[in-house]
Amino acid sequence: MRSYSLTAPAKINLYLEIIGDRPDNYHELAMVLQSISLADKIDIRSIGIETIVVRCDHPLVPPDASNIAYRAASLMSKQFPDVFARYGGIEITIDKHIPVAAGLAGGSTNAAAVLVGLDLMWELGLTHGELQELGAQLGSDVPFCIGGGTALATGRGEVLSPLPNLDHIYVVLAKYKSLSISTPWAYKTYRQQFGDTYVTDTESQENSRQRVHSGPMVSAIAHHNHTEIGKLLHNDLEKVALPEYPQLLKLREAFASQNVLGAMMSGSGPTMFALTESQSQAEEVEAAVKGKMADPDLEFWIAQFNSSGISIAH
């Protein structure tokens, strides 16, 4: 086929612990990542000339090489130059629904869709591992976004252990339209403020990873204990984002005061989310928090946990 349409889901963090520094200047992490049904649609098409074109009508999504979806196509064209020459250029159209710079891996999941889409369109037959390796060259969350579902992520975020799927959990998301948080800022500020608590030697880092692997959040997921999952939500980056942006703390408190399993910021923020057991509960929570905050700058979404990552759109 000369074109593919793909669904690229967002992710939320159920757990994010910063363990320490890495020699590559990134952070050693232990995270639980969860795909959700809030998704972008990515169309990929072969075009006559050997070039890469990105189209997106969202004002914050650049069409050039600074777009991670463009970089994904560029990486594939360099990795497989003969196939690129045979098939011609690549046109990528992004139908954006996931908020940008929001802690939901919106860019990473677009890049993951380009890798999966080109693997299909060019009939490369890459393995999941090969796609994940390419993804890791683009961003720490890209490998997870390819397969999605529920996973424990360590290393930079690219070392993945699948966890049992969590069905029937709903999520209400809220984000201030005018507020975005840069991921490098969040990690840099965390290092400045909490660097002295970092675990430095490799053995202690391994112990920290093991503690999460065999810890209460992973156990709660294994037992499908939704109440415990809600209670155990944890994100170290809240320690820098909430003091800097007090409106986020208020939003978190508004969510937590409702009938929810738990509430937390996703990734480096600023999206705040709450987990519920049903769609109707999610709708009630959305209406209550909307009423309480009464701020036209605040946008809401309702989604469901997703058991997969990139899929072909129907």
Which residues here bind ligand C5P, judged by CB under 6 A?
26-27, 29, 139-141, 156-157, 183-184, 187
Q: Residue 268 has which token pair?
A: 């480096």
Our CB check for ligand C5P shows the closer of 19 and 173 to be: 19
DSSP assignment string, 205-273: HHHHHHHHHTSHHHHHHHTT-HHHHHHH-EETTHHHHHHH-HHHHHHHHHHHTSS-SEEEE-TTSS-EE
Our CB check for ligand C5P shows the closer of 189 and 258 to be: 189
Q: Which amino acid is at 56?
A: C
Q: Residue 70 has which token pair?
A: 């463009």
Instruction: For the CB of residue 313, give the shortest distance to ligand C5P in the complex, in Å.
Output: 25
**Residue 188 annotated as catalytic:** no
Our CB check for ligand C5P shows the closer of 30 and 303 to be: 30
Our CB check for ligand C5P shows the closer of 156 and 292 to be: 156
Instruction: For the CB of residue 20, give the shortest distance to ligand C5P in the complex, in Å.
Output: 10
Cα-based distances in Å from 192 to 16, 17, 119, 122:
18, 16, 41, 45
**Residue 295 annotated as catalytic:** no
Our CB check for ligand C5P shows the closer of 132 and 281 to be: 132
Instruction: For the CB of residue 135, give the shortest distance to ligand C5P in the complex, in Å.
Output: 10
Q: Residue 170 has which token pair?
A: 């709903």
Q: Which residues contact 85 (CB under 8 A, 6 or more apart)?
A: 50
Chain CA centroid to CA 177, Å: 18
Q: Which residues contact 148 (CB under 8 A, 6 or more apart)?
A: 9, 11, 35, 306, 307, 308, 309, 310
Q: Which of 11, 40, 175, 236 is catalytic?
A: 11
Instruction: For the CB of residue 12, give the shortest distance to ligand C5P in the complex, in Å.
Output: 15
In degrees, rounded to 5, the angle at the alpha carbon of residue 81 between the alpha carbons of residues 75 and 86 is 125
Instruction: For the CB of residue 189, give the shortest distance to ligand C5P in the complex, in Å.
Output: 10
Q: Which of 40, 96, 119, 141 is catalytic?
A: 141
Phi, psi of 78 (to 5 degrees): -75, -35
Residues serving a catalytic function are: 11, 141
